[in-house]
Structure 1
Amino acid sequence: MAAPDGSQDSQEASYLLLPNPEDWEEQGIPDFVYGQKDLVGKGIQWPGNAGLTLDSLPRSRFDSALCSAWRQRVELGLFRYRLEDLQTQILPGSVGFVAQLNVERGVQRRPPQNIQSVRQEFDPEQFNFNKIRPGEVLFRLRQREPEGPKQEDILVLINVSPLEWGHVLLVPEPALGLPQRLLPGTLRAGLEAVLLSLHPGFRVGFNSLGGLASVNHLHLHGYYLAHPLPVEGAPSTPLDPKGYIHLLQALPAPGFLFYTSGPGPDMEGLIRRVCRATDYLSNHEIAHNLFVTRGAPPGPASSSAGLTGLRVILWARKSSFGIKESGAFNVALCELAGHLPVKTSQDFGSLTEAAAVALIQDCLLPQARVEEVQAALVALMAQEEL
């Protein structure tokens, strides 16, 4: 995939680039400061040749800053492997899976930590984001004069084993040692990161412990993918009278859909409701994955061109701990959304839609358990008016 920010680095983003390696610690972490006017809720669409090239798309300050700093870290050799253009195919069938061959990630990524519980406490002796090299930090996200609740600072780090171009981690206040459990301020930062990008394929997600999070230190993933995904416009039905929570029934996996048209009170309500839902799942030892993408409002199936707001999809799933080597891919946030990073050339060449669906659905909760979770989440949404 071509770099989403085009071939030229933005001069505006040059202050975020590293000086000589020996000066990294002395220079400190640069700030990327943004305001409400930088958050774009509407008017983002896929070009007519979506998936072929995105170099012609407009770029925001955020896109230029992230991509130019990320490219510099590539040239400095800070990643575990050099990410070249990934072989990509849209699997034949009705779902529209985007499969990519990423052998190096399957081989070179850091082994997951020893996790036994969705609610496991942070362990400073294990690997965490206070132990990374200074050059892995791109910048600090800092909101200028927030209109809503004060947003804690978020560090934007490279993922040294990237899924795709621009794969970063959003980490709130690493020194606090927060475990991998979603918090409102962290989710708000993820939503705002998507709104800061003019790229329709910049997505953000969260894996819980037991949901294939490999590090028990609070973080979100963000990355660019030059293709629409099934969840952007998949049909849904409301589960409560207020329309706070919807059931996304389409393949590859049924999930709970939350939607906001953009910044403001509506988004704050969504953050509150989503975190109530993830708190319930964590408290009941139910692993989960979450995906944030620009998309269509809830309702009937919609063209992916209708990216009128933000879709937040939450999946409850079976817990999975330890290293998972079987199968063409592991099932976490991007796979549930329809993006399949495949580990071997053999699997990439033979993978079918039916096989992908079967692998994903094998990781989901039994239907009876799903119905229990659904009833509990709907009850939680009813408390919004209390």
Structure 2
Amino acid sequence: MRECERTSTAPEGEDSRLREEVEDWEEKGVPNFVYRQKELLEGIQWPRTAPSLLDRTPRSRFDSALCAAWRQRMELGLFRYRLGELQTQTLPGVVGFVAQLNVERGVQRRRPQNIWSVRQAFDPEQFNFNKIRPGEVLFRLLREPDLPGALQQEDILVMINVSPLEWGHVLLVPEPTQGLPQRLLPAALRAGVEAVLLSSHPGFRVGFNSLGGLASVNHLHLHGYYLAHRLPVEGAPSEPLDPGGRLHLLQALPAPGFLFYTSGPGPDLEALIGRVCRATDYLTDHEIAHNLFVTRGAPPGKTSPSSALTGIRVILWARKSSFGVKEGEAFNVALCELAGHLPIKTSQDFDSLTEAAALALIRDCLLPPAQAEEVQAALVALIAQDEQ
């Protein structure tokens, strides 16, 4: 059913072989996954068949490497829980929320760090990705220069999220020893967007939570994971906010957000990365929490859920700051919830949650209208500077 298909527990003897493999990797160092621009895939679409048949579609080299290594770590028991088949349903209503029951993540995930500011400095004494077990790292993601003399892109460590949302849930972490705080940087965003383009699965998405936007670790990282379902933000309609069409407002439910779009790799992608990071810099500098989601999607305008996924959508939401996980709620609002994917903590909530209740939880996390208008005006002004 998934791009990373499930397997049974490793048989006796197989477990020791897998451990020897990881020990060998630890001894030799982290393996490299080197890719070239020609591997960035355009035109990936949802198949006409049901999502349960996605595992029959051809995998890219990136998907194969990620899924094979991720599955090995699951068999070795390096996660906090063994992820089984997640109960999934689409909530009745106009939005099309994809709800999944993930009790173990709600109970066993690491408690969030003590965070009090969107601009908080990195603290080496708190948990960070320099303190993980070596076996949690899958590979180093490296882009090979395509032109003689071109600078090589900064490498990114791809590691398992030990409390996974779904199969294939990984973290993209720029060199951890740099001690970067959870503030989005162009090199990290570029790696996230290109990871989506490296996948032949239309449901591989990447996202970022700022401090105050439910990031639980103050060490720069993005999330990537597979979800074999369409999400509302892929084809939601939008309207331009600037004459050049560089920034759009995604008005549809589940939450209004700022839409940046590119048709694929090349100069337009580099320009998009710069615009997005200038926007997140503004939000961070003004102590405004935010979430970001990268997915294959339709061009801006009057689109629909059935629209072709012709490019990459990057959606940015400014929101109220929320420090720590709120207990007793069906879900916590971060990058995937704003995109329409709801990981639910309890069976009772999974059985009883309605679209209206989900929207109420999400609206409670959004900026009040007056502040939202101020942020929109500021971002439009930033984009206007690009045009000058």
Give the whole-Å Cα distance in 2 for the aligned partners of 1:210 and 1:146: 38
* C-alpha displacement of 1:23: 3.7
* C-alpha displacement of 1:312: 0.2
Partners of 1:3 and 1:67 within 8 A in 2: no
Give the whole-Å Cα distance in 1 for the aligned partners of 2:287 and 2:124: 22
Give the whole-Å Cα distance in 1 for the aligned partners of 2:299 and 2:145: 29
Q: Which residue of 1 aligns with 2:169?
A: 167
Residues 1:104 and 2:89 are matched in the alignment: no
Give the whole-Å Cα distance in 2 for the aligned partners of 1:116 and 1:105: 23
Partners of 2:19 and 2:76 within 8 A in 1: no
Partners of 2:156 and 2:172 within 8 A in 1: yes
Q: Within 5 Å, give how 1:185-334 maps onto structure 2.
A: 185-334=187-336
Compared CA separation, residues 146 and 170, structure 1 to 2 (3 A): farther
Give the whole-Å Cα distance in 2 for the aligned partners of 1:21 and 1:149: 31
* C-alpha displacement of 1:209: 0.1
Q: Which residue of 1 aligns with 2:354?
A: 352
State the SS of the aligned residue for 1:32. Answer: strand
* C-alpha displacement of 1:301: 2.3
One-letter amino acid of the counterpart of residue 136, structure 2: E
Partners of 2:232 and 2:305 within 8 A in 1: no
User: After superposition, what is the alpha-carbon deviation per residue over 1:254-301, rounded to whole angstroms, capped at 9, x for unaligned?
Assistant: 000000001000000000000000000000000000000000000002
Q: Which residue of 1 aligns with 2:2?
A: 3
Structure 2: give runs of 5+ residues left out of the alignment. Answer: 8-17
Q: Which residue of 2 aligns with 1:40?
A: 41
Query: What TM-score comes out, normalization by structure 2 length?
Result: 0.94
State which drifts further: 317-326 or 195-204.
Answer: 317-326
* C-alpha displacement of 1:305: 4.7
Compared CA separation, residues 20 and 62, structure 1 to 2 (3 A): closer
Partners of 1:50 and 1:226 within 8 A in 2: no
One-letter amino acid of the counterpart of residue 76, structure 2: L
State the SS of the aligned residue for 1:54. Answer: helix
Q: Which residue of 2 aligns with 1:84?
A: 84
Q: Which residue of 2 aligns with 1:59?
A: 59
| Alignment length (residue pairs) | 376
State which drifts further: 17-26 or 268-277.
Answer: 17-26
Give the whole-Å Cα distance in 2 for the aligned partners of 1:24 and 1:234: 43
Q: Which residue of 1 aligns with 2:143?
A: 143
* C-alpha displacement of 1:27: 2.0
One-letter amino acid of the counterpart of residue 168, structure 1: V
Q: Which runs of 4+ in 1 moved over 3 A?
A: 5-8, 17-24, 146-150
Compared CA separation, residues 40 and 377, structure 1 to 2 (3 A): same
Give the whole-Å Cα distance in 2 for the aligned partners of 1:174 and 1:146: 26
User: After superposition, what is the alpha-carbon deviation per residue over 1:122-177, rounded to whole angstroms, capped at 9, x for unaligned?
Assistant: 00000000000000000000111145764100000000000001000000011000
Query: What TM-score comes out, normalization by structure 1 length?
Result: 0.95
Q: Which residue of 2 aligns with 1:94?
A: 94
Q: Which residue of 2 aligns with 1:14?
A: none
Partners of 2:74 and 2:82 within 8 A in 1: yes
Partners of 1:119 and 1:283 within 8 A in 2: yes
Compared CA separation, residues 149 and 240, structure 1 to 2 (3 A): farther
One-letter amino acid of the counterpart of residue 252, structure 1: P
- Give percent identity, aligned residues only: 79
* C-alpha displacement of 1:219: 0.2
Partners of 1:45 and 1:305 within 8 A in 2: no
Give the whole-Å Cα distance in 2 for the aligned partners of 1:25 and 1:90: 42
Give the whole-Å Cα distance in 1 for the aligned partners of 2:192 and 2:159: 13
One-letter amino acid of the counterpart of residue 338, structure 1: G
Q: Which residue of 1 aligns with 2:129?
A: 129
- Provide the aligned C-alpha RMSD in A: 1.4
Partners of 1:66 and 1:138 within 8 A in 2: yes
Partners of 1:296 and 1:304 within 8 A in 2: no
Compared CA separation, residues 143 and 96, structure 1 to 2 (3 A): same
Give the whole-Å Cα distance in 1 for the aligned partners of 2:152 and 2:75: 36
Q: Which residue of 1 aligns with 2:375?
A: 373
Partners of 1:5 and 1:59 within 8 A in 2: no
Give the whole-Å Cα distance in 2 for the aligned partners of 1:56 and 1:6: 10
* C-alpha displacement of 1:48: 1.7
Structure 1: give runs of 5+ residues left out of the alignment. Answer: 9-16
Partners of 1:295 and 1:309 within 8 A in 2: yes
State the SS of the aligned residue for 1:211. Answer: coil
Give the whole-Å Cα distance in 2 for the aligned partners of 1:50 and 1:332: 27
User: After superposition, what is the alpha-carbon deviation per residue over 1:81-137, rounded to whole angstroms, capped at 9, x for unaligned?
Assistant: 000010000000010000000000000000000001000000000000000000000
* C-alpha displacement of 1:24: 4.2
One-letter amino acid of the counterpart of residue 29, structure 1: V
